[in-house]
Amino acid sequence: MATPAGSPRPRGRMRDPRLVSAAAVGVLAGLVGVSALGPSSRMRAELRGIRQSLARTQERLWQLQRLLEEAGGQAAWVTQQEQRLEAMRQRLPVSSQVPVLLDALLGSLGSAQVQLVDVAQGNLEPVVGLDGQPVRIDEAACLGLPVTLRVTGRFHALAGLLQQVTGSGFPCVVKVEHVHLALKDPTTMSLNATVQLVLYVREA
């Protein structure tokens, strides 16, 4: 049958779009099947890694949501975090205050009725968190100063000293790394003690 002049010549029969979609899905399924049989155990491992990462992210989001709910909402949570940060600033003086902190530490010995035998300090060292990253406060690195005290005193006096320097009244955060005790005088129950501490400050 002749086509009327001026009419566009048909380019072929129109295909049912559902058939085209089905064909495309079939091709993709075939490609996935080939990939699964072929080189991509690596692809499957990557997909597993992505799913695990998504699951961890979802869990962290749920944890954050619970924290926000417990705090009374986002604004209250932000306020709490700012208060905690301010408290940390006050307990983490700048590193230029180390001489003042050492004076406060040695001053605690007298008030605790403990006698100093020797004191040694190390170098300031960056503090690393559980994630392996440096700990920072207000963009300033958190530093630890190792201090070793050799002292003598009775047990309750030594316990009082440790409670004093690790309490909130001391001008910085102090961690007790190790304590070694040895009996000095059985008649007075006096002890020799080696106390290893870490004083925490912020980089100046």
Show pLDDT as tens, one digit a residue, over the chain (204 residues).
444 454 445 444 444 444 444 454 454 444 444 444 444 677 777 777 777 877 777 777 777 777 767 767 666 656 665 666 566 667 788 999 999 999 999 999 888 889 999 999 999 999 988 888 888 887 889 999 999 999 999 999 999 999 999 988 899 989 999 999 999 888 888 899 999 999 999 998
> Distance between CA 78 and CA 36 in Å, rounded?
48
Assessment of whether the complete model's pTM goes beyond 0.75: no
CA distance between the termini of the chain = 93
**Helical H runs in 72-204?**
74-91, 98-111, 155-166
Residues 105-122: b if buried by 16+ CB within 10 A, e if exposed: beebbeebebeeeeeeee
